[in-house]
Every structure is written in structure tokens, then in C-alpha cells.
Structure 1
């Protein structure tokens, strides 16, 4: 019997692996286990040694640098995929950034420059990804991004990333509507808090983890493998009827928070 989540014969791009503990790494592992052929990116030369083991573990055929702040780098990733593969079935966008000084202050005290940078990297880059992926998804496809419950409710110390993630979720809905006639769907995975390098910039993050664990039904936090399985489902044909949605992977925390 064929597995419900089957990515055999599909090719996907994973943007945003920082190291083996990142959400993107968990998703890449799940895509690989489901049979997908993968391309992955790394931020810069400094990050390469942390991403290489993940790329090797998932047998990534393409590995390229991608800092969305550097003109031309994101475009070069898709140009390489177009030359080597000629098509693409799914993309995971798992990048977010805010300057530390803006992230660790109240929303009313963040700078215009810091807010704009966070919005550009964390949200607008997903629009760019969608535009670049569109011509390669000739048989339809799946666009995925990663969000957090702080987009819907105030989470202490999440600060300006709350409005930024809210904008990202709205962007998902509009992209889903724009590309539906091309059979390209877009969804966001609202992941429960995971102790990653990216999360280290959020003030008192360990306290947030403890609070979420206490309030989550079953008192169990999600891991990157749990999130990866949700991503693999959404990337597969089994998830083809899910579009424009925020899909929670948080063990039910959002239902009681």
C-alpha cells in the first residue's frame, strides 16, 4: 500500500536551514524520508559548516548560498534549479530576522528601519519566492512558510515579530488566491516554540518554553520532527486540498492559550 505522505518523484527547495536543530532541518529530513529530491540553501560561508551535515543527511542534489538581503542570490538559486531540474514541486521558506535591538524592545520603541528590515526578510521574501517558483511549478505545487502563534495573540517578548508574522500569514492567503488557477497552493505552518538558534534572539525564551509546556494539553512541546511531518503532508498530494491556511503544529497549545 502506498504511503499517504509520498513525495517520490517530487523535487523541493528548502530555504532557511541554520543547523541540524532548525525547523527547516526537521522539514528537510521529513521530505527526504518521504522520497523527495531536495535542493537546500545556506546563509553564507560562516553557516556552511553547520548546514553541510544536514544537506548530506538528506542527500541534497543542489546546495547554494542564499541571503535574501544580497541582490541576486535568491534569483541565482532558482536559476540553478531551472537549469539543473527544469521544474519544482514544493518550496519551504523558513527564514525570519529582526535586529536584536528592535526585537528586544517594546513594539512602540522599535525603529522604522528595524521594522522594515524584519518585514522584508521575514515576509516580503516569501512573495519573492512565490514569484520565482511559479514558472517552475508547471504541474502545480506547494509553497510553505513558517509562522508562530504570536501573530494572533500577544506573546511576551515576541514584540515586533508578532505584526511581521501576522503580515506573513495574510500574504499566504493572498498568494493562495493569486496562484490557485495554476494549482499552486500556499500554506503557513504555525509551529510551537522550538529551541533553535533563531529563537535565541527572543528575550527570556526559556521561560516561554516552560509556560507553553505547562499550558499545552499533554504538557508536551513539539520537536522539529513533528513539524517536519506536517510540512511533508502539506507538500504532498495528500495535502492538495489545503490552501491559504495556517496549519498548527503545536500539540494544541493554540486551543487553550
Structure 2
């Protein structure tokens, strides 16, 4: 299979905000790398001071024009980030929402045992934060733009041990469709991206995740797992004018695993 070498800088002049980089294995980092490879400027966020030392070298390697803290559960941080983007860039073309969270006991336990406050927390951080970001990003997408959110196949099919995140990701996908409808007249397109199993820090918290990886590799028509750059280049393509009339889709980047019975 051919590899991607020296891609054309088709996103030169674009400004991309990537939220959710935690380490070099993050899907968000793959997106940021792909955007840079095709010419876009990137802004990178980090969750807190504990996460900063892990994310800062990655931001520096990408030449990130903006590097700022963002914990969507803290009042004011999201607004401060977009105020900084408006001041330094004046616009934004691409937004990647690659964050999700739930209480450990709710991830480990079944849906029947999920607490009300735990469910609300997972929905707020994993879903409603996208809506809040989109509301702040839309006025800055003066030439239109593209918004991405990261989902998983467990949103539409039962994946054992995915538990509370299944309903949460289903809500995320529905939110993307409704945002695509509301923001379409402004030239803003919205997609949910559904990668196959990847060795990320978030996924490592799922029970029997290694078994899920092995099964996906065996079932994939292409015969191998995808990586974070596959996800990144898919988003890069969708952000180009070549995909100007695609919106509201859930795009699978999984080597074809989702088509298998």
C-alpha cells in the first residue's frame, strides 16, 4: 500500500484548533500533524498543568502558533481560548473536538449501574462541550469551516465493555447532525469521525481492549489496523474544498471493520 509522502499544502492559510492532544498517541495529535503537513497553522490545547509537559513538546514540534490550557469543565477557559484565537488569528477554519470523559466506575461498570451525576458528567464533557465550542467557533468561521468530533462504533452497535460511552457517543453523533443542519447556511460543515480501535490512553481504560484490537485487525478487509495519521488525513481531506458539499456524516476510518458482520 502506498504511503503519503510530501503531501500538497492544500490547507495553506487555514487555521485549525485541535482540542484533545494528550500525548503522541492521541488521535488529536494525528489530526494536528496531518493539518500541518498540508499547510495549516494549528492551535493546540492542554488539559492542565499536569498534562502540559507531555503536550508542550508536541506543540513545539508542530510549530503551533497558539498553545493554551483548556479544561471544558472549568468556567471561562473555553471563552478565554476563543478570545485568544480571535485576537491572534482573527478567524478559524477547522475545529477538532477530541475529548471525552466519564467516571472510572461508570466506564468499568455496566450501564444499569451508571449514576445520574456520572452520566451527566460524561454527557457534559463529551457532548455538550462540542456544542459550546461550535457556538464560539461559528462567528470566527467567516469563510465557512469544518468541525470534527471523534466517535466510535459503540455509538450505534453494542460493543461489550464500552458501557456508558455508547449512549454518550450516540448523543455526540446526533449533535453533529443537528449542528450540521444549523450551521450549514453559514458554510460550516460538521462531521463525526469514527476511527477503528487505536492504542490511545483513553482506550486503554476499556476492559479487554487488547482483544478488541486483535479482533479488529483480523476482521478488517485491508488486513491491518488504522493509525492516528489515517484519521488525521481523513479530516484534512474533509476540510478541503474537495469535500465542500459533504456534511453531517459519520465517517468510519477503520479499515472497513464496520462493514463486516
When normalised by structure 1's length, the TM-score is 0.97
Q: Which runs of 5+ in 1 are unaligned?
A: none
- In the TM superposition, residue 4 of structure 1 has moved relative to its aligned partner by 7.0
Structure 2 distance, partners of 1:188, 1:7, is 20
Equivalent residue, structure 2, for 1:99: 103
Equivalent residue, structure 1, for 2:218: 214
Deviation by residue 1:34-86 (Cα, 9 ceiling, x = unmatched)? 00011110000110111112101211000000000111111111000011111
Q: What SS does the corresponding residue of 1:14 show, helix, strand or coil?
A: strand
RMSD: 1.1
Structure 1 distance, partners of 2:212, 2:113, is 22
Of the three residues 153, 156, 163, the one matched with 1:152 is 156
Matched, 1:176 2:180: yes
Q: Which runs of 4+ in 1 moved over 4 A?
A: none
Structure 2 distance, partners of 1:174, 1:35, is 30
Relative to structure 1, is the Cα distance of residues 66 and 109 closer, same or farther in structure 2, using a 3 angstrom cutoff?
same
Deviation by residue 1:182-229 (Cα, 9 ceiling, x = unmatched)? 001100110111011111111111111111112211331110011111
User: Where do 1:66-105 residues align within 5 Å?
Assistant: 66-105=70-109
Matched, 1:10 2:11: no
Q: What SS does the corresponding residue of 2:229 show, helix, strand or coil?
A: helix
Structure 1 distance, partners of 2:123, 2:178, is 16
Structure 2 distance, partners of 1:12, 1:218, is 30
Matched, 1:28 2:32: yes
Contact 1:13 1:92 in 2 (8 A): yes
Contact 2:48 2:71 in 1 (8 A): yes
Of the three residues 88, 113, 117, the one matched with 1:113 is 117
Contact 2:9 2:39 in 1 (8 A): no
Deviates more, 1:62-71 or 1:204-213: 204-213
Structure 1 distance, partners of 2:67, 2:18, is 10
Contact 1:5 1:233 in 2 (8 A): no
Q: How many residues align?
A: 255
Q: Which runs of 5+ in 2 are unaligned?
A: 1-6
User: Where do 1:28-47 residues align within 5 Å?
Assistant: 28-47=32-51
Equivalent residue, structure 2, for 1:234: 238
Structure 2 distance, partners of 1:218, 1:88, is 35
- In the TM superposition, residue 5 of structure 1 has moved relative to its aligned partner by 6.9
Relative to structure 1, is the Cα distance of residues 5 and 173 closer, same or farther in structure 2, using a 3 angstrom cutoff?
farther
